[in-house]
């Protein structure tokens, strides 16, 4: 089956939107195309739409453009989309988002559809083994309570068990969920408040939330999670030299493609200089992933990060030479 089809296309989507919203004046149409189309769609799509010999879908009356269709446009769910949805019915994570009633209805509606794939067709071979337990009914209940609060902008009373220390009770407003395919875990970003005073942003592992209850807490101030995340970005980017040995450049570039980075290739040395930005919380993870590349990558800066690499490498060199290099000081 063909995935690249105009029925899923941006232009079809935008034109359907215009036909649904009609009557519109030209400026309104341009605004809609500007918001939903590509960068140059206003120049390419509008003239076609206004040309009766090209796309005779609108008619003009007194400066307004009316749809010539009898009904607002609809696009049924395609066979490919149905078989994709059917495959998802076997994914345990679907139960986090939909209720049993919704799932029963969906399964019934798709009973004659072949799933696009079976779960066993795809193996995530290096996924961590201690992922969240999606089959746990309590996990599902807590997840759905958080999802509802996220949608409604409400606070919840959460009991959280941090890796170290005692259970903590607090009133949190869920702001965003985050899923890691590597960890197979969900985290929730929250804003904590106490007596209507903001107590900071928190990142909580869903599996460590032991109980969820209603909360009467409120906070009416401005929240800026993106700004907070920006402030938690590394102060300066890592400066790396990646060599072509063992296909290092390609391996590194693909593995770190989810990070913000800038690279420059030096034909003479056949190596690449890369500036890489990361969230400060992820520093240890970045460090050990770079260690995994061995001598293919050299960290050039900042000095503090070079020192972290150096410390581990020299400790290992000492251990490898039979010395007592390890002193229990490493964070991971």
Partner 1 sequence: MAYSELVKRFDRVRDYMRDFLIFGFKTREDFGQKSARTYDNERRRIESWLGDGLRWEYRPGGKAVFLSVDASGLPSNPLYRAWQSKSFTDNDITLHFYLLDLLSDGRPRHAEEVTDELADRCERLFELSTVRRKLKEYGELGLLDMQKQGRRLCYALSPCSLDALFPDKTGLKEFLGFFGETAPLSVLGSFLAGRTGDGDAQIRFKHHFIVHTLEDQILLTILEALRAGRRLELTNVSGRDGRESVCRVVPVKLMVSVQSGRRYLVARRLDQRRFSTFRLDYIKALTPLPGQDGDENYRALAELRLAHAWGPALPGNERTQRFSMTVAVDEEHEPHIIQRLHREGRGGEVARLEPGLWRYTNEVHDVGEMMNWVKTFMGRIVALEGDDQRAIDRFYDDVRRMAGIYGGEV
User: Please, which of residues 186-245 interact with partner 1 by CB under 8 A?
Assistant: 226, 229
Contact between 228 and 243 (Cβ < 8 Å): no
The CA-based diameter of the chain, rounded to the nearest angstrom, is: 89
CB of 117 to partner 1, least distance (A): 5
Please, what is the minimum distance in Å from the beta carbon of residue 142 to partner 1?
15
- Taking CB under 8 A as the rule, does residue 112 contact partner 1? no
User: Whole-angstrom Cα distance, residue 304 to residue 326?
Assistant: 20
Q: Does 178 bind partner 1 (CB under 8 A)?
A: yes
| 104 contributes a contact to partner 1 by CB under 8 A | no
Count of chain residues binding partner 1 (CB under 8 A):
133
Site string (115-134) toward partner 1, x via CB under 8 A: xxxx--xxxxxxxxxx----
C-alpha to C-alpha distance for 63 and 61, rounded to whole angstroms: 6
Output b/e per residue, 23-34; b: 16+ Cβ within 10 A.
ebeeeebbebbe
In the complex with partner 1, the residue whose CB is nearer, 135 or 254, is 254
Structure tokens at 266: 């030096």
Residue selected from 50, 253, 283, 302 as contacting partner 1 according to rule CB under 8 A: 253
- Binder of partner 1 out of 26, 157, 210, 289 (CB under 8 A): 289
Considering only 143-151, 165-173, 190-198, 204-212, which stretch makes contact with partner 1 by CB under 8 A? 143-151
Site for partner 1 in 6-65 (CB under 8 A): 6-13, 15-16, 19, 38-41, 44, 48, 54-57
Closer residue to partner 1, CB minimum distance, 31 or 54: 54
Stretch that binds partner 1, among 145-153, 194-202, 205-213, 214-222 (CB under 8 A): 145-153
- Contact in structure between 142 and 204 (CB atoms under 8 Å): no
Query: Of 56, 53, 58, 54, whose CA–CA distance to 44 is shortest?
Result: 54
Report the interhelical angle of 26-36 vs 10-21 (nearest 10°): 140
Identify which of residues 197 and 318 has a Cβ nearer to partner 1 in the complex.
318
DSSP bridge partners of 58: 67
- Dist. CA 110–CA 86, nearest whole Å: 6
Of 31, 75, 167, 169, the one binding partner 1 by CB under 8 A: 75
For the CB of residue 73, give the shortest distance to partner 1 in the complex, in Å.
6
Nearest to 219, CA basis, from 275, 273, 156: 156
In angstroms, the CA 146 to CA 212 distance is 8
| C-alpha–C-alpha distance, residues 190 and 171, integer Å | 9
Q: Write out the binding residues for partner 1, residues 254-273 only, by CB under 8 A.
A: 254-255, 257-265, 267, 272
Which one, 81 or 211, has the nearer CB to partner 1? 81
User: Which CB, 56 or 169, lies closer to partner 1?
Assistant: 56
């Amino acid at each position: 089956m063909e995935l690249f089809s105009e029925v899923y296309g941006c232009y079809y989507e935008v034109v359907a939107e215009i036909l649904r919203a009609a009557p519109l004046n030209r400026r309104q149409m341009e605004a809609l195309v500007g918001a939903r189309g590509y960068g140059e769609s206003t120049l390419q799509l509008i003239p076609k739409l206004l040309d009766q010999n090209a796309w005779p879908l609108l008619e003009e009356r007194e400066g307004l453009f009316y749809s010539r269709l009898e009904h607002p446009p609809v696009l049924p769910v395609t066979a490919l989309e149905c078989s994709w949805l059917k495959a998802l019915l076997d994914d345990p994570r679907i139960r986090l988002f939909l209720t049993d009633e919704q799932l029963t209805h969906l399964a019934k509606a798709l009973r004659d559809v072949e799933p696009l794939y079976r779960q066993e067709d795809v193996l995530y071979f290096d996924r961590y083994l201690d992922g969240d337990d999606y089959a746990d009914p309590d996990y599902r209940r807590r997840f759905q309570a958080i999802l509802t609060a996220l949608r409604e902008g409400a606070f919840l009373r959460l009991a959280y068990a941090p890796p170290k220390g005692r259970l903590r009770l607090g009133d949190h407003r869920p702001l965003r969920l985050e899923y890691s395919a590597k960890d197979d875990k969900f985290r929730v970003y929250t804003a904590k408040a106490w007596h209507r005073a903001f107590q900071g942003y928190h990142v909580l592992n869903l599996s460590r939330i032991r109980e969820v209850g209603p909360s009467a807490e409120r906070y009416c101030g401005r929240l800026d999670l993106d700004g907070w995340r920006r402030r938690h970005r590394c102060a300066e980017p890592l400066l790396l030299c990646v060599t072509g040995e063992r296909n290092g450049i390609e391996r590194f570039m693909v593995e770190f493609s989810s990070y913000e980075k800038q690279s420059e290739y030096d034909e003479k040395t056949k190596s690449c200089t890369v500036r890489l930005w990361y969230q400060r919380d992820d520093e240890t993870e970045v460090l050990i992933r770079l260690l995994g590349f061995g001598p293919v990558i050299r960290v050039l800066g900042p000095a503090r990060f070079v020192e972290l690499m150096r410390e581990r490498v020299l400790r290992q060199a000492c251990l490898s030479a039979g010395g007592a290099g390890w002193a229990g000081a490493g964070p991971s």
